[in-house]
Amino acid sequence: MEQQKELNIRVRNKMADTIKSETDMKEEAVKIQKVVEAKPEENIVETKVSDEKVVDKKEKISEDKPKTEAKLAEKPKEEKKKPIQKKPIIKKNEVVVNGISLPISTKYSVAICKFIKGKKIDRAIEDLEQVIAKKKAVPMKGEIPHRKGKKMMSGRFPKKASENFIKLLRSLQANANNHNVDEPIVAEAVANLASRPFGRFGRIRKKRTHVKIVAREKKSISKNKKSKEKKHGRKKHSQI
């Protein structure tokens, strides 16, 4: 019996709470209606303003469309790639190459310089390749065995020195092609003794040589020769 009473009390309390909530909701709805009835004009104004804003935005978008289209049409013209400006190749009459502290004999390099001088670069390379193959000797002075060949008493086949000279001549040819030197000829070839480092335990001094090779155009060499002949008042037979 007591349990039934408790249940009845709980049900009544719940019913009372629901009735209160319903009444509160009705009161709030009435208040909102009163507020809306008291200020109908303000709401209309706000809606009008918002509509005007929307219209203005649409007009702006429509006005901006042709501008954007024009910009897009102009962009490809502006974005055209500019031509790459290369440095102008300066034409020269002479080209130089330097070999510093080369591990070759100074005596052999002096003989090769005389052997190369006055020849075209291609021909000089071919002759040195024949020297490496022991088909052609480099003429030298001193107590050196005689070799076969025209106007040659003695000579040798310096392999290491000729290989280094071929490298220098190829780099000289590349410089001549880069600077548009027409028909380059070896005008100067000089070999000098470089500082010689000591070997192990300081017993032996190693071989070191500085080499300088200059190639000039054939026309410039002929002009220089003519000017020298006029100064001295005599003619010289050309060795080229």
Residues 137, 187, single domain; the answer is: yes
Considering the domain boundaries, does residue 14 fall inside one? Answer: yes
Residues 43, 122, single domain; the answer is: no
Q: How confident is the model at residue 218, as a pLDDT?
A: 82
Mean pLDDT calculated for residue range 158-174: 95
Q: How confident is the model at residue 231, as a pLDDT?
A: 60
Mean pLDDT calculated for residue range 192-200: 92
Mean pLDDT calculated for residue range 24-32: 70
Residues 207, 122, single domain; the answer is: yes
Considering the domain boundaries, does residue 239 fall inside one? Answer: no
CB atoms within 10 A of CB 184: 23
Residues 146, 207, single domain; the answer is: yes
pLDDT interval class at 182 (50, 70, 90): confident
- For the chain, give the DSSP string: -HHHHHHHHHHHHHHHHHHHHHHHHHHHHHHHHHHHHH-HHHHHHHHHHHHHHHHHHHHHHHHHHHHHHHHHHHHHHHTPPPPP-PPPPPP-SEEEEEEEEESS-HHHHHHHHHHHTTSBHHHHHHHHHHHHTTSSPEE--SS--B-SSTT-SBEE--HHHHHHHHHHHHHHHHHHHHTT-SSEEEEEEEEEE-PPPB-GGG--B---EEEEEEEEEHHHHHHHHHHHHHHHT-------
Mean pLDDT calculated for residue range 41-57: 47
Q: How confident is the model at residue 180, as a pLDDT?
A: 87
Here the CATH number for the domain that contains residue 108 is 3.90.470.10
Considering the domain boundaries, does residue 44 fall inside one? Answer: yes
Residues 2, 115, single domain; the answer is: no
- What does pTM read for this prediction? 0.57
Which residues, other chains included, contact 3 with Cβ-Cβ below 8 Å and sequence gap of 6+?
Answer: none
Between 200 and 86, where is the model more confident?
Answer: 200
Considering the domain boundaries, does residue 82 fall inside one? Answer: no
Mean pLDDT calculated for residue range 76-84: 61
Please state, in angstroms and rounded to a whole number, the distance separating the CA atoms of residues 211 and 69.
68
Considering the domain boundaries, does residue 79 fall inside one? Answer: no
Residues 216, 130, single domain; the answer is: yes
Residues 41, 126, single domain; the answer is: no
Q: Specify the number of domains making up the chain.
A: 2
Which domain covers residue 22, as residue numbers? 1-53
Considering the domain boundaries, does residue 152 fall inside one? Answer: yes
Residues 106, 163, single domain; the answer is: yes
Considering the domain boundaries, does residue 106 fall inside one? Answer: yes
Mean pLDDT calculated for residue range 9-34: 68
Considering the domain boundaries, does residue 135 fall inside one? Answer: yes
Residues 22, 131, single domain; the answer is: no
Q: Is the pLDDT of residue 64 over 80?
A: no
Q: Is the pLDDT of residue 59 over 90?
A: no
Residues 151, 211, single domain; the answer is: yes
